A and B are shown apart, each in its own frame.
Chain A
């Protein structure tokens, strides 16, 4: 279908007061904490000077444990698992965020190749004029990660920045916006 291109609305920063409008009381609970298999993914957002970022917002989007999405554009059919798939958590004064979710299943890429379990992430913050996008992979999925078609395009030395690592009761995924060990961000 040929369509006329309308100019996009440009992005603007969320500014320092994003917590007035964006957080939800249940935003961090992709699932309830007592859901069987629930995991906690948490981390800290850092700037280029290594300082914690207290005015960021993390949003996550992911498949359910069977690899399905409750969305009509999934040609395999929308799942009816009731899984929201969306998490939203502002950072606190120490730059920390956390979500409670289920580990996503395998989602095929456009050629049908399996992708390793992953979560898409948007990072919004004062000082970011547009969201930046990254992906959470899981360090304990080494075999799946080794075969992942997206990770394969990331320079090997930088791949560890995309791995959530088992840490106590959950997985730690820190985000470094700039500087040494800068997180890999993706162009959408």
Chain B
């Protein structure tokens, strides 16, 4: 019996056409999507990571030759499916700006310093219980030209493969109480307030390291198997 993954009910993910975020206007498809039944191709997916991830890839503060500048933080959490089951040994990839709010990318011309000891990229595998942990620096807010005086709230990009093609997710983790939330069309593209709150890490005193780093917890929930059989479309 093949697992069936629950389809998004339309309340969680942002609508592709969200004109407040200008880049969606010419890139969001306009035609109706065709329902894709979940065959073997969709319920399987790449189970990658062994041999691709080194333990030091989870520490973004230790580039060769020196230590990254900024407020050191620990970001950790658990990756589960929507049924609450942990997803073990799955690849978690992150990228982010440096503490001054600048990415190490040729297109980023923000007038903020580059940090020679911060590339802003990390990866790790979840453990047996679906847990992951990164050490990094808190990214800075930065201007992005979407509208007058547009600044992105501080965030870390997360990429997850899950264990099935249906579970693939790329998202952004935000920090508590950011004053820029109200003004950010990307954060606010998620229409449901409860869903939006799931993008915000919580301060985690238990994860802080004495005299060294602040801790934040960010749990991630991917699509899950459906508890009840669903009607798949038939063409007969």
Contact = CB atoms under 8 A, between A and B. Distances in A.
B182 interface: no
B194 A7 contact: yes
Nearest to B103: A17
A185 B48 contact: no
Given A21-B121, A71-B45, A107-B39, A132 B31 contact: no
Contacts of A12: 14, 157, 170-172, 186-187, 189-190, 199
Contacts of A19: 105
Contact of B16 (A17, A124, A130): A130
- Which of A6, A10, A24, A61 has the largest number of chain B CB atoms within 10 A? A10
Contacts of B199: 9-10, 12
A188 B7 contact: yes
A8 B8 contact: yes
A-side binding surface: helix, strand, loop or mixed? loop
A6 to B, nearest CB: 5
A86 B14 CA distance: 26
Contact of A124 (B94, B163, B170, B233): B170
B30 A182 contact: yes
Given A73-B3, A120-B42, A177-B28, A129 B33 contact: no
Interface centre among A8, A71, A178 (most CB of B within 10 A): A8
Interface in A2-37: 2-22, 24
B233 to A, nearest CB: 7
Interface stretch (B80-88, B124-132, B203-211): B80-88
B72 to A, nearest CB: 20
Contacts, number: 253
A128 B27 CA distance: 7
A127 B103 contact: no
Given A3-B224, A110-B38, A18 B95 contact: yes
Given A61-B45, A128-B16, A186-B36, A10 B196 contact: yes
A109 B23 CA distance: 36
A152 B196 CA distance: 37
B165 A131 contact: no
Interface in B41-93: 41-48, 52, 80, 82-85, 93
B27 A182 contact: no
B103 A20 contact: yes
Contact of A7 (B29, B166, B169, B198): B198
Say what secondary structure dominates the interface of chain B.
loop
B40 A63 contact: yes
Interface stretch (A45-53, A137-145, A165-173): A45-53
B2 to A, nearest CB: 6
B interface, size bucket: 35 or more
Contacts of B232: 110
B112 interface: no
A1 B21 contact: no
A86 B7 CA distance: 23
Residue from B12, B165, B219, B225 having most chain A Cβ neighbours under 10 A? B165
Contact of B26 (A7, A18, A47, A120): A47
A69 interface: yes
B196 A59 contact: no
B27 A7 contact: no
A111, A122, A149, A188 pick with most chain B CB within 10 angstroms: A188
Interface of A: 1-22, 24, 47-49, 51, 53, 59, 61-63, 69-71, 73-75, 84-86, 107-111, 115, 118, 120, 122, 124-133, 135, 149-150, 152-154, 158, 177-179, 182-188
Given A71-B44, A75-B2, A187-B34, 13 more contacts: A5-B83, A7-B82, A7-B221, A8-B8, A10-B14, A12-B170, A12-B190, A22-B93, A61-B165, A73-B44, A107-B41, A125-B27, A129-B14
